[in-house]
């Protein structure tokens, strides 16, 4: 485990989630109706998922409740399949229903790293 590297990526993941919440204001209509908000959210989701791929395997094993593989796959869809269209309602579902739990799990990891 590269503790310093993992800390950087964990902090980046939390920052991305916070920025997404800031951009949307937890308002689906704001997200759906504003291209700039959509672009910001999609970019932050992409870089957040990229950061999860760069975490050490040792660190990932400390949080088996996180579906690391799904996060990686999600990143690949955002990066490689965007021309087929992004389902904004599905993205909102992820933002609204999955990011809060991910944030909590990543906060727990961050707290463990600071010990």
As given in the structure block, the two tokens for residue 109 are: 């990891």
As given in the structure block, the two tokens for residue 36 are: 């700039």
- Out of 35-39, 73-77, 80-84, give the one with best mean pLDDT: 35-39
Cα angle, residue 95 at apex, residues 89 and 98 outer, rounded to 5°: 115
| Per-residue pLDDT tens over the stretch 33-73 | 999 999 999 999 999 999 999 999 999 999 999 999 988 88
So what's the pLDDT on residue 81? 65
CB of 19 closer than 8 Å to CB of 41: no
What's the whole-number average pLDDT of the chain? 91
Catalytic positions are: 75, 80
């Amino acid at each position: 485990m590269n503790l310093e590297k993992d800390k950087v990526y964990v902090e980046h993941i939390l920052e991305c989630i916070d920025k997404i919440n800031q951009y949307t204001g937890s308002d689906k209509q704001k997200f759906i109706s504003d291209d700039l908000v959509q672009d910001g959210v999609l970019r932050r989701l992409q870089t957040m998922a990229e950061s999860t791929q760069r975490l050490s395997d040792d660190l990932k094993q400390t949080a088996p409740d996180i579906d690391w593989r799904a996060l990686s796959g999600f990143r690949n869809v955002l990066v490689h399949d965007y021309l087929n269209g992004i389902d904004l309602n599905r993205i909102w579902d992820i933002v609204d229903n999955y990011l809060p739990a991910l944030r909590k799990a990543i906060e727990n990891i961050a707290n463990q790293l600071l010990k």
